[in-house]
């Protein structure tokens, strides 16, 4: 390993020993930069590796709000502004009880490379709160979102930082957040993406991450394996925004979705998942996925989310959360003859699992490339807001398809250039880093 990479990783380990997700992402990314640090002495001369892996700033604030009983609740709020060398900070907000600085730093770091891969002018950031939306009423979610924005609005803007959704933040939350922002600053400038269609949202944004994941996977299946989704069995973890639209597109492409999940467990339906029923449970009632069994007598419930990887499938699309595929899960998938694992969630495979996929030469689509469709259409939403114009559904979908195809082609070409065509992870890291590092060097030490 190049000494610059080794020293940087050691320093992070010493400074942030408890930030395990951040250290994991930093290790995964920096170790793949080995050949380019050798090749380009400017990276060492200007300390680009160290400057790249540390966020520009972290904003940590207190969020106080009242629940329906009138009790005062207190949560932590964050915005990690990671890197704005190629465009305004851009990335989602996550509301989940597990949210902390480590998770948001890993997500922000990934976002910098992902946004660069889209080729649109967006820097990287991430934010959120340890607020748990499960079981909260609509008015509680609104109170929380308003209190969160009462702090966040000071740090965001159409040219500075443009947040969006992530786990626990969908159209409802973006609506409440945007409403409070507009009230506070008296500007309707589109500062969040994922907005409702009636106030500046883009067609296809809700579908974009799941559809984009399938467009990426379709390209990979064709160009690496000369095959397609047609007739393939697919496991999709999660049952939120990304998972449901991925399932929708897999079915449109002729695949069969055997299983989906939530944090309680897995539904397995050998007849193929009835997506309408899943959407009715999840979108309509915000219920639990095991309710699927009430109307689907052939389906089974497996009471551990990891068990989804024991189901014999051709393609796995992890669309729930980080580290949901560990080394054991990866071995099980490989033993069952999986041909492709393409990531809808961020960092769903541990570094050990990802290495197994790459070493075994299956198609492994790394998150920062395969799930970039969501932020890509967020970028297109920003363009439409700036133009005061809306593209049609077909126009946005065609642009998304072309962006995902380009991402695949660019990272595959880079993986081949570095003599490991199956290492799309290295391809994505190096290709994404190129534009960011060039911009940092060109803009001097600051």
Catalytic residues: 126
| Binding pattern for the stretch 329-358 against ligand NDP, x by CB under 6 A and - elsewhere | ---------------xxx------------
Q: CA-CA distances (angstroms) from residue 77 to 119, 129, 246?
A: 30, 5, 30
**How many positions of this chain bind ligand 2IT (CB under 6 A)?**
12
Binding residues for ligand NDP restricted to 136-165, rule: CB under 6 A: 165
184 vs 293, beta carbon nearer ligand NDP: 293
Query: In whole angstroms, what is the distance from residue 371 CA to residue 397 CA?
Result: 15
- Tally of CB atoms within 10 A around 310: 19
- Contact region with ligand NDP (CB under 6 A), list: 15-23, 216-224, 234-242, 295-303: 234-242
Q: Is 374 in the site for ligand 2IT (CB under 6 A)?
A: yes
Instruction: State the binding partner of 91 from ligand NDP, ligand 2IT, none, CB within 5 to 8 A by kind.
Output: ligand 2IT
Least Cβ distance, residue 404 to ligand NDP (angstroms)? 13
Q: What's the burial of 328, exposed, middle or buried (CB within 10 Å: 0-12/13-18/19+)?
A: middle
Instruction: State the binding partner of 193 from ligand NDP, ligand 2IT, none, CB within 5 to 8 A by kind.
Output: ligand 2IT
Q: Is 193 in the site for ligand 2IT (CB under 6 A)?
A: yes
Query: Cα-flanking dihedrals φ and ψ of residue 265, to 5°?
Result: 165, -165
Given 101, 166, 262, 324, the residue binding ligand 2IT (CB under 6 A) = 166
Contacts (Cβ under 8 Å, ≥6 apart) of 87: 115, 120, 121, 122, 123
Q: Is 375 in the site for ligand 2IT (CB under 6 A)?
A: yes
129 vs 209, beta carbon nearer ligand NDP: 209
Given 32, 146, 321, 349, the residue binding ligand NDP (CB under 6 A) = 321
Q: What is the dihedral of CA 256, 262, 264, 270, to 10 degrees?
A: -10
Q: What's the burial of 58, exposed, middle or buried (CB within 10 Å: 0-12/13-18/19+)?
A: middle
Q: Is 110 in the site for ligand NDP (CB under 6 A)?
A: no
150 vs 346, beta carbon nearer ligand 2IT: 346
Binding residues for ligand 2IT restricted to 83-102, rule: CB under 6 A: 90-92
Q: Is 325 in the site for ligand NDP (CB under 6 A)?
A: no
DSSP line for 107-175: HHHHHHHHHHHTTSS--EEEEEES---TT--HHHHHHHHHHHHHHHGGG-BTTTEEEE-BTTB-HHHHH
Whether residue 217 contacts residue 316, with contact meaning beta carbons closer than 8 Å, is answered with: no
Helix (H, G, I), strand (E, B) or coil at 420: coil
Computed from CA positions of residues 349, 430, 205, 106, in that sequence, does the dihedral angle turn out positive or negative? positive
Least Cβ distance, residue 288 to ligand NDP (angstroms)? 7
| Binding pattern for the stretch 271-310 against ligand NDP, x by CB under 6 A and - elsewhere | ----------------------------------x-----
Where b means 16+ CB within 10 Å and e means fewer, 411-432 reads bbebbeeeeeebbbbbbbbbbb
Instruction: State the binding partner of 239 from ligand 2IT, ligand NDP, none, CB within 5 to 8 A by kind.
Output: ligand NDP
Q: Is 238 in the site for ligand 2IT (CB under 6 A)?
A: no
Interface contacts to ligand 2IT, rule CB under 6 A = 90-92, 111, 114, 164, 166, 193, 346, 374-375, 378
């Amino acid at each position: 390993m190049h000494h610059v990479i080794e020293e940087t990783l050691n320093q992070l380990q010493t400074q942030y020993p408890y930030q395990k997700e951040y250290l994991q992402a930093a290790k995964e990314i920096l170790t793949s930069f080995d050949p380019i640090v050798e090749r380009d002495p400017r990276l060492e001369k200007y300390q680009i590796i160290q400057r790249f892996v540390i966020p520009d700033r972290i904003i940590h604030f207190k969020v106080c709000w009242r629940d329906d009983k009138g009790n005062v609740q207190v949560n932590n709020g964050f915005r990690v502004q990671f890197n704005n060398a190629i465009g305004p900070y851009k990335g989602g907000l996550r509301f989940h009880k597990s949210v902390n600085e480590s998770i948001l730093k890993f997500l922000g770091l990934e976002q910098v490379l992902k946004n660069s891969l889209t080729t649109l002018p967006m820097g990287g950031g991430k934010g959120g709160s340890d607020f748990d939306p499960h079981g909260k009423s609509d008015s509680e979610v609104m109170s929380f979102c308003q209190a969160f924005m009462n702090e966040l609005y000071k740090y965001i803007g159409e040219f500075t930082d443009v947040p969006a959704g992530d786990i626990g933040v969908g159209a409802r939350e973006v609506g409440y957040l945007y409403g409070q922002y507009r009230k506070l600053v008296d500007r309707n400038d589109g500062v969040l993406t994922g907005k409702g269609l009636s106030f500046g949202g883009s067609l296809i944004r809700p579908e974009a991450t799941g559809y984009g994941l399938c467009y990426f996977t379709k390209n990979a299946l064709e160009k690496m394996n000369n095959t397609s989704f047609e007739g393939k069995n697919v496991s999709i973890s999660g049952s939120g925004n990304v998972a449901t639209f991925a399932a929708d597109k897999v079915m449109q492409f002729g695949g069969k979705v055997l299983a989906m999940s939530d944090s309680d467990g897995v539904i397995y339906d050998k007849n193929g998942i009835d997506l309408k029923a899943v959407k009715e449970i999840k979108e309509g009632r915000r219920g639990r996925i095991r309710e699927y069994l009430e109307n689907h007598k052939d389906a089974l419930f497996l009471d551990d989310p990891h068990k989804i990887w024991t189901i014999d499938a051709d393609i796995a699309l992890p669309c729930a959360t980080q580290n949901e595929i560990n080394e054991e899960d990866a071995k099980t998938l490989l033993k069952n003859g999986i041909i492709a694992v393409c990531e809808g969630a961020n960092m769903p495979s541990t570094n050990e699992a990802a290495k197994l996929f790459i070493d075994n030469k299956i198609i492994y689509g790394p998150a920062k490339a395969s799930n970039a469709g969501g932020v890509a259409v967020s970028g297109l939403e920003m363009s439409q807001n700036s133009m005061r114009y809306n593209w049609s559904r077909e126009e946005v979908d065609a642009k998304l398809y072309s962006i995902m195809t380009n991402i695949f082609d660019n990272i595959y070409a880079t993986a081949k250039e570095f003599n490991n065509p199956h290492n799309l992870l290295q391809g994505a890291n190096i290709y994404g880093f190129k534009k960011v590092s060039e911009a940092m060097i060109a803009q001097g030490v600051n």
